[in-house]
Amino acid sequence: MNRHRCKGGFTLVELLVVMLILAMLIGLLLPAIQAVREAARRSKCLNNLKQIGLAFHNYENTAKTIPPSARVTRDPNTRRIIAIDGWSFLVMLLPQLEQRQLYDSLDIKNPQTGPLRRPLDTRKSPDAHLEALNTRINTFICPSNPNPQYAEPESKTGAVTNYKAMGATHYESLAFASPTPTQPLYGGAEAAKGMHPDGACYPGTASRFADMADGTANTILCVESMDYVFSRWTVGAEVTVYGLNPVDDQNNRLQFISYRNLYFAPAGYVGPKFDDEAVASMTAKPTIGCDYSPKGAEKQTYQLVNPGGDMTLPDPSQFIYGPSSGHPDVVIHLFADNNVRAINRRIDPATYMFAITRNGGDPQGKLAED
């Protein structure tokens, strides 16, 4: 008697169905895996800024002042800044970040042997300083940073940082810390001298957290930046940013932020009252909202304004100025009270300006957090 045996295995149709199901499952799992990885990277970034914030407060407890974003050279008689040629605030915080040996290898007091703002191939610094310039410190790098971690990636020279001091609301304000401050568009330089730069940490500052009249919880201290061209962590002049762009009047002309009532404010600002309505022209975009992608509809490039002299700029497409991030939709900010917040890129320009100023007496709008 013949018996028919059933052969095992899948038919071609069944195999295709199984493969389709597996592909669908993988497609569903990949976004979740990527989200988990980004959450881990973001958590590490938050912790990096938290450690920098703790270092700021420990430094202030000892020195009775916060470190300036850049060490400066002053005229011995007038105390006027004559050069921003010194070390960065990150260098000053090295002992508080368990980098005492690296800090001790540097000549901190003599800015002339510090990292001058010149191309690497023309700098004449001691070997220890060159070693520091090329030392990559993990705490200064965001894990979501998609860009090189060196100013010169091929030779791995000029180690960069993704965390910079928020020096002022915009360039004209920050320029008051420069050797040749820019005159405000409205009003005189003397009237503005006491309040600008208006950020928490800028070149030459010697302030304390208690001096921030707006409150440390309402004042941005540091921010993420994805730029690597001008971001060497040792160079004070390269680790200071401002938060608001010049205003585009839609005729391909850039206008700097208006100066009103001894206060720099975005164009269209009608304060001092703050409410839910926009109080600033939407053309006064904060740098946090810029799209730097090559095909971005809102791609912007910047000219690096250097009041102290001329310098050759790289391809503008490589230059990412101001707050920027590798995290989706948000940029991580460190506030002066050591609170770390993720701020949405679409934040209202005036609200962002209010969060930058330390003594503006501004109304505090709700930050657009993630």
Quote the domain boundaries for residue 241. Answer: 36-356
Percentage of the residues of the chain whose pLDDT score is greater than 90: 26
- Asked if residue 183 is part of any domain, the answer here is yes
User: Is the pLDDT assigned to residue 165 strictly greater than 90?
Assistant: yes
Q: What's the rounded Cα separation, in Å, for the pair 161 and 315?
A: 20
* Residue 296 placed within a domain: yes
Give residue 329's pLDDT: 85
**Does residue 259 surpass a pLDDT of 60?**
no
Residue 2 lies in a domain: no
Specify the amino acid at residue 100.
Answer: R
Runs of H (alpha helix) within the chain: 12-63, 89-92, 100-104, 127-133, 171-174, 189-192, 349-356
Between CA 67 and CA 208 the distance in angstroms is: 9
Residue 199: partners with Cβ closer than 8 Å, 6 or more residues away: 165, 166, 167, 168, 169, 173, 174, 220, 242, 243, 356, 357, 358
Residue 238: pLDDT over 70: yes
Find the mean pLDDT for residues 103-112.
74
- pLDDT number for residue 348: 77
Distance of CA 283 to the CA centre of its chain: 21
Mean pLDDT throughout 28-32?
Answer: 69
> What local confidence, expressed as pLDDT, does residue 162 receive?
95
Q: Is 13 helix (H, G, I), strand (E, B) or coil?
A: helix
pLDDT of residue 80: 81
Distance of alpha carbon 202 from alpha carbon 198, whole angstroms: 9
pLDDT exceeds 90 at position 142: yes
> Which range is least confidently modeled, 19-28, 39-48, 296-305, 323-332?
296-305
Greatest pairwise CA separation for the chain in angstroms: 117
Residue 249 pLDDT more than 80? Answer: no
Q: Which of 182-186, 229-233, 235-239, 295-299 has the lowest mean pLDDT?
A: 295-299
The CA distance from 131 to 137, in Å, is 12
- Measured in whole angstroms, the distance separating CA 19 from the mean position of its chain's CA atoms is 46
Q: Is residue 90 part of a domain?
A: yes
Task: Report whether pLDDT(118) > 90.
Answer: no
Question: What is the reported pLDDT for 289?
Answer: 62
Instruction: Output the pLDDT for position 337.
Output: 95
Cβ-contact 73, 92 below 8 angstroms? no
pLDDT of residue 99: 94
Which of the four pLDDT bands, split at 50, 70 and 90, describes residue 3? low
Residue 96 has pLDDT above 90, yes or no: yes
Most confident of the following: 19-33, 103-117, 128-142 = 128-142
135-144, 170-179, 187-196, 245-254 — which is least confidently predicted?
A: 245-254
22 domain-assigned: no
Interval 337-363 mean pLDDT: 85
Q: What is the chain's length?
A: 370
Selected residue with higher pLDDT from 292 and 113 = 292
Question: Using 50, 70 and 90 to split pLDDT, how confident is the model at 26?
Answer: confident
Is the pLDDT at 44 greater than 90? The verdict is: yes
pLDDT in the model for residue 208: 94
Higher pLDDT, 265 or 79: 79
The residue ranking higher by pLDDT, 228 or 258, is 228
Q: How confident is the model at residue 17 (pLDDT cuts 50, 70, 90)?
A: confident
What pLDDT digit, counting tens, does each position of 198-236 carry? 899 999 998 899 999 889 999 999 999 988 888 899 988
Asked if pLDDT for residue 91 goes beyond 80, the answer is yes
Own/partner contacts of 55-62, CB < 8 Å, gap of 24 or more, are: 55/93, 55/96, 55/97, 56/93, 56/96, 56/221, 56/336, 56/338, 57/209, 57/338, 58/96, 59/92, 59/93, 59/96, 60/208, 60/209
Alpha carbons 209 and 339: distance in angstroms, whole number: 13
Q: Considering the domain boundaries, does residue 104 fall inside one?
A: yes
How much of the chain exceeds pLDDT 70, in percent? 65
Total domain count, the chain: 1
Residue 172 lies in a domain: yes
Tokens of 305: 């304004």
Is position 5 within any domain? no
Best CA proximity match to 341, nearest among 231, 223, 241: 223
Question: Is the pLDDT score of 175 beyond 90?
Answer: no
